[in-house]
Amino acid sequence: MSESISSARESRCPAVHSPKLRPSPATGDGLHIPHTPDLGSIEAPRRNEKEPRTRRICTAHEECQGHVRSMLGRGVKRKWSSLEGAEAEQLPDATATEDKRPDTALEDSEEEDRGDRWSRTDTSHLQQRQLVLSLCLEKLQHYQAGVELSLRRSVLLINTLRQIQEEMRSDGTDVRLSGVSPDTRLLRDDFREDESVTCPGCTEGDAEGPSPPPSPEPTNTAPTDLQKPPPNAVGHTFSDAGSAMGYLSDLALDDIFEDIDTSMYETSELPSAWAASSLWPVSVSFWPDDDMKPRSSAGSLQSCLLDLNELDHIMEILVKS
Amino acid sequence: MQWCFSQVKGAIDDDVAEADIISTVEFNHTGELLATGDKGGRVVIFQQEVENKNLPQFRSEYNVYSTFQSHEPEFDYLKSLEIEEKINKIRWLPQKNAAQFLLSTNDKTIKLWKISERDKRPEGYNLKEEDGRYRDPNTITALRVPILIPMDLMVEASPRRVFSNAHTYHINSVSVNSDNETYLSADDLRINLWNLEITDRSFNIVDIKPANMEELTEVITAAEFHPLQCNTFVYSSSKGTIRLCDMRVSALCDKHSKLFEEPENPSNRSFFSEIISSISDVKFSHNGRYMMTRDYLSVKIWDLNMENRPVETYQVHEYLRSKLCSLYENDCIFDKFECCWNGNDSVVMTGSYNNFFRMFERGQRRDATLEASRENSKPLQVLKPRKVCTGGKRKKDEISVDSLDFNKKILHTAWHPQDNIIAVATTNNLYIFQDKVN
């Protein structure tokens, strides 16, 4: 067995995966900062830290009755409950499926009814799509300082987002009018707020981030150290402040700044790139490329200062444009 | 098959301390030992008492054998992130000598623990004074050989190996090879092969990290070695595929030997299709001919010789299909349920919500829904099958879908390798059930 392994990639600890190529500068889509959309008439419950993690599933029927047997906690009255109720009623007799045919794949003829329900023009489908979209963005935006995000969860959320995106595009729905705010506006707002980030002393106050601030209160397992910004505070707090940018780590931050620089010098495409109606440039910003160690060896303080300088520079450029 | 309550371990009160949340359950290869890991980084091992084995109506009980702190919380200063001490997986090594060995892992570090017994101590040394000081050698005139005298059993757990710094992403699986020399550890994007003796080096055998992280669409969710063939392992993905790899083909197993994937039923397509297709657990059958996968709504059994579809599919809680939007909202849709086989691969088991767990008897095509609750915990009380009502009139004793408690989830279950004894973990309690013996 050892012979065949000898030519395998061998890693000595600390892990020595050779740094991969940096992601190419964003093209077209560029950066995107997802932002909780202006939901308009759609009421999506916002989860804050204090609410129970899980919510009860209500049907319209039960809500009307006002009788809530809350084993989960308080149910939240939502307009979507009627949607769920509609779905539940249309679900064919699932008990029969369970009991009689426990070992067959889902090939019941009853399922064919669903085909109609998913026709694109179906209002409930569009409503659900909008709901899922807003939830998706909300979940992606919500992140707790000091706790590493689950990559699996992030990937699944992004893929769902992409799927909705695709569907909206093929629908011919203008993404900008869909209720999700376009990128430029978001970016501007976020970056303006981030001006204060350039001042290290202000970093603590910035921890809350732009609206809505799902103020990432550290979980009870987080040590109190996290309350004080650690040495690479600027980068980290920037990602807090621009929490709409998602899960930026210091390392990914470098790449993003790099992207900005390049495109600024090459073309004046930057604003349009970010405002691309082609949507959610779901870019590298969503998960840090943890393997990359561009500056980590240089010492966190150095990288902090470098970040600071870059930030200054970029702020100038953005404010001017 | 009827099941009876046997024991329940853990605190009774409803206020669950987060550290007590059970995160993994595993029987050892004989079933004599049952290990649990929790969110606080502790491992608790229960041992089956052998005394009453002869009594037909009373199976042996499991009592605490050893408790130790396996992992501590750590702080990654580079990324300003906390590394949780939660035990993600425990895997026992086959017993080679008097001691027992297990691998326990958190998100980043795997540890090999040796659990050994000490029930004798030497006595009769004449080299020391009462207080422990060494006597002056000139005063010692006789040679006295110490004798071993019995003492109260002491179980010691000591970390023998620490395998660290090999995973950038969160470790989700460890699996010991049948060669008993190597094991694999898998995180979201990579699988590493280790030698149990060597801690400063591991071989990367699978790497699905794209050069550009923007292109990442799939992660590894579980991995396991084949129980008999030491060159074969499988890994599952978040897209519902399973890849079987043969380490003899090439050192780097990025190219799979087999790809197991069931084409999606187009009428079931929804925004959540991919999320619910994500496989949360994969387990080979004991005989090595089949493997079982668990996705959000179903359990599928695959014949290793047939890649295009599973041979059996069991619906765990199909009534949730119409609730996916709500489950997505409250994050339950991301719950990772495990599954397990019984000793002779005739029955499979997995957990659900409301402290329900499901059993599927393959040959008989029977299935049952049982509940782990304090209400049904009188000694040897037979568990009554539960039924979820999906619509229309709710019969007596049925529970409606909307009344299910989604906070009470059974993610971890284990089946004794030989007997019909099962361990079912609720949030912070461990239930042990045994089949009814007449």
Amino acid of residue A140: L
B262 neighbourhood in chain A, CB within 8 Å? 105
Which residues, other chains included, contact B51 with Cβ-Cβ below 8 Å and sequence gap of 6+? Answer: B60
Q: What is the pLDDT of residues B362-409, one digit of tens each?
A: 998 899 999 999 888 888 889 999 999 887 777 888 899 999 999 999
- The answer to whether the CB atoms of B407 and A54 lie below 8 A apart is yes
- Å between A57 CA and nearest CA of chain B: 6
Under an 8 A CB cutoff, do A23 and B201 touch?
Answer: no
User: What pLDDT was estimated at residue B48?
Assistant: 93
Q: What is the pLDDT of residue B378?
A: 87
Contacts of B379 (CB under 8 A, 6+ apart): B5, B6
What is the distance between the alpha carbons of residues A201 and A204, in angstroms, rounded to a whole number?
7
Residue-level pLDDT at A306: 56
Residue A222 scores a pLDDT above 60: no
In this prediction, residue B132 has a pLDDT band, given cuts at 50, 70 and 90, of: confident
Shortest CA distance to B68 belongs to which of B37, B33, B110, B89? B37
User: CB–CB of A153 and B193 under 8 A?
Assistant: no
Band (B51; pLDDT cuts 50, 70, 90) = low
Q: What is the DSSP string of B127-162?
A: SB-TTSPBPPGGG--S----EEEEEEEEEEEEEEEE
Q: What value does the mean pLDDT take over residues A13-34?
A: 40
- Identity of residue A238: F
> Which pLDDT score, from 0 to 100, does residue A179 have?
43
User: In this predicted structure, what is the pLDDT of residue B21?
Assistant: 95
Q: Tens of pLDDT along B6-38?
A: 999 998 877 889 999 999 999 999 999 999 999
Which one of B38, B78, B335, B358 makes the best mutation probe of the A interface by having the most chain A beta carbons within 10 Å? B78
Pick the residue from chain A with its C-alpha nearest to B330.
A54
Q: Peptide bond preceding A14: is omega within 30 degrees of 0, i.e. cis?
A: yes
Rounded to whole angstroms, how far apart are CA atoms B9 and B377? 11
Neighbours of A74 (CB within 10 A): 11
Note whether B315 contacts A102, CB cutoff 8 Å. yes
Residue A280: helix, strand or coil by DSSP? coil
Query: CA-CA distance, A262 to B377, in Å (whole number)?
Result: 67
Poorest-confidence range of A129-138, A198-207, A230-239? A230-239
**What is each CA distance from B84 to A263, A288, B178, in whole angstroms?**
39, 18, 30
Of B81, B209, B319, the CB nearest to A148: B81
Chain B residue numbers touching A4 (CB-CB < 8 A):
247-248, 251
| Cβ burial, residue A7 (10 Å; 0-12/13-18/19+) | exposed
Grade residue B218 by pLDDT with cuts at 50, 70 and 90.
very high
Instruction: Judge contact between B279 and B221, C-beta under 8 A.
Output: yes
Using CB atoms, which residue from B75, B166, B326 is nearest to A15?
Answer: B166
Bond from prior residue into B379 cis (ω within 30 degrees of 0): no
> CB distance B188–A71 less than 8 Å?
no
Please give the model's pTM, rounded to 2 decimal places. Answer: 0.68
Nearest alpha carbon to residue A49 among A287, A208, A234: A208
Handedness of CA B144, B149, B152, B153 (dihedral sign): positive
Phi, psi of B209 (to 5 degrees): -75, 125
In whole angstroms, what separates CA B11 from the centre of its chain? 21
CA distances from A208 to A137, A199, A226 (A): 18, 16, 14
**Interface touch A103/B334, C-beta < 8 Å:** no
- Which chain A residue's Cα is nearest to B278? A156
Are B113 and B159 a contacting pair, CB within 8 Å? yes
- Residue appearing with tokens 């707020």: A193
Tell me the nearest-neighbour CA distance from B214 into chain A, angstroms: 5
More confident residue, A31 or B193: B193
Nearest to A236 among B80, B221, B322 (CB): B80
* Cβ-defined contact of A54 to B330 (cutoff 8 Å): yes
Chain A partners within 8 Å of B389 (Cβ) = 95
A13, A17, A51, A54: which to substitute to probe chain B, counting the most B Cβ within 10 Å?
A: A54
Residue at token pair 């470790």: B171
| B77-91 confidence digits (pLDDT tens) | 888 888 999 999 999
Tell me whether strands B398-400 and B387-389 are parallel, antiparallel or unpaired: parallel
Which one-letter DSSP state was computed for residue A132? H
Query: Which of B18, B212, B274 lies nearest to residue A156, judging by beta carbons?
Result: B274
pLDDT, residue A321, reads: 59
Sequence-separated (6 or more) residues with CB below 8 Å from residue B349 = B339, B340, B342, B357, B358, B359, B360, B413, B415, B422
Q: For residue A313, what are its two tokens?
A: 């520079």
pLDDT band at B250 (very low <50, low <70, confident <90, very high): confident
| Average of per-residue pLDDT across A161-175 | 82
Candidate from A187-191, B194-198, B310-314 with smallest mean pLDDT: A187-191
Chain B nearest-CA distance from A193, in A, is: 23
Q: In the predicted model, what is the mean pLDDT of residues A200-211? A: 39
Residue A38's pLDDT band, with cuts at 50, 70 and 90, is very low
CB contact under 8 A, B389 and A95: yes
B185 closest CA partner among B201, B174, B195: B174
Cα A116 to Cα B260: distance, rounded to the nearest angstrom: 30
Question: Does B167 score more than 80 pLDDT?
Answer: yes
As a dihedral over the C-alpha atoms of residue B63, residue B64, residue B66, residue B68, rounded to 10 degrees, the angle is 150
CATH topology of domain B3-435: Methylamine Dehydrogenase; Chain H (2.130.10)
**A10 vs B contacts (CB less than 8 Å):** 201-204
Which chain A residues have a beta carbon less than 8 Å from that of B312? 103
Which of A4-18, A223-237, B19-33 bottoms out in mean pLDDT, i.e. has the lowest? A223-237
- How many cross-chain Cβ pairs, A to B, lie less than 8 Å apart? 255
Query: How far is it, in rounded angstroms, from Cα B124 to Cα A155?
Result: 65
3-state SS, residue A238 = helix
Query: CB B326 to CB A84 under 8 A?
Result: yes
